[in-house]
Amino acid sequence: VPIYDFKSHSRAKDKKAMYGANVVIFEGILSFCNKKLIDVMDLKIFVDTDSDIRLARRLKRDITERGRDLEGVLKQYNKFVKPAFEQFIEPSVKDADIVVPRGAENDVAMNLIVQHVHDQLEKRGFNFRSKLPQAHLDQPLPDTLHVVESTVQVKGLHTFIRNKETPRDEFIFYSKRLTRILVEHALSLLPFEDCTVDTPQNTRYEGKRFVGKLCGVSILRAGEVMEPALCEVCKDIRLGKILIQTNLETEEPELHYLRLPKDIHKDFVILMDATVATGAAAMMAIRVLL
């Protein structure tokens, strides 16, 4: 989300990352001016404050925090702020569900709002992250989930990988073999078209050719171990990286680093992650790519 610099009245170079939340608070003096926004709001609150207090707060804020002078603040207030409030903002009080006088100083109104939000969250069941792994127990797998066939070779590779006595170099070797099988299986799911080529024996061969472009994106840090296998079977493939870590306080995934190939929206993307617990990081990575 862009950061607005009130001193230069322009967007700053830095941006602020925003993540999904159980409660989204949309705040702004023109919040009720767009009917589409009003329709998606569960609770609409209008904070009403005396005009003298609003002016005093504006003077204190603009002079001390934004480095502006008294004359400039009053001129802007009388010419733009006050007329705009009376014409556009004050009439929007009719769209509010709750009108709170005195703002945050009104403890009764604050407690009422907090209790209402809490009751709605309890009613909807907002804390679902811990229940996510058990959400689909005893249910058939979706058609969009493709599992590599458990052949004798695959079982043999799993035997080496799961054996606690397997040496480190052998573990790495067999892990790479299994990863390559997985990557090749994923490539077989991509769209192909019919094509005809001439062989060295001057015969024609009816074959298949991949349609489109391909790139790979690994979810750091485990996803990087799958990159060598992808590069071995896809020549000169472009790679990107996403670093997603879980916030220890909220237990929600957060995006910390993102580097994607150019024009990725035109490509088929192979998203790679070697370990999956709840799937929260993978879901967030998919949302970022979309």
Q: Taking the alpha carbons of 265, 261, 209, 285 in that order, is the dihedral positive or negative?
A: negative
Upstream peptide bond of 54 is cis (omega within 30 degrees of 0): no
Using the CB atoms, write b or e for 141-159: b if 16+ within 10 Å: eeeeeeeeeeeeeeeebee
- Side chain identity at 201, as an amino acid letter? Q
Q: Please report which residue ranges of 89-226 form alpha helices under DSSP H.
A: 107-124, 152-162, 168-187
Better pLDDT: 124 or 150: 150
CATH of domain 2-124: 3.40.50.300
User: What pLDDT, in 10s, does the model give residues 68-106?
Assistant: 888 888 998 899 989 988 888 889 999 999 999 988 889
Q: Taking the alpha carbons of 271, 273, 274, 280 in that order, is the dihedral positive or negative?
A: negative
User: What pLDDT, in 10s, does the model give residues 240-262?
Assistant: 999 988 877 777 788 888 899 98
Binning the chain into helix, strand and coil, the percentages to the nearest 5 are 45, 20, 35
Residue 278 has pLDDT above 80, yes or no: no
Q: Is the pTM of this model over 0.95?
A: no
Query: What mean pLDDT is predicted for residues 41-68?
Result: 88
Give the residue carrying structure tokens 């979309």. 290
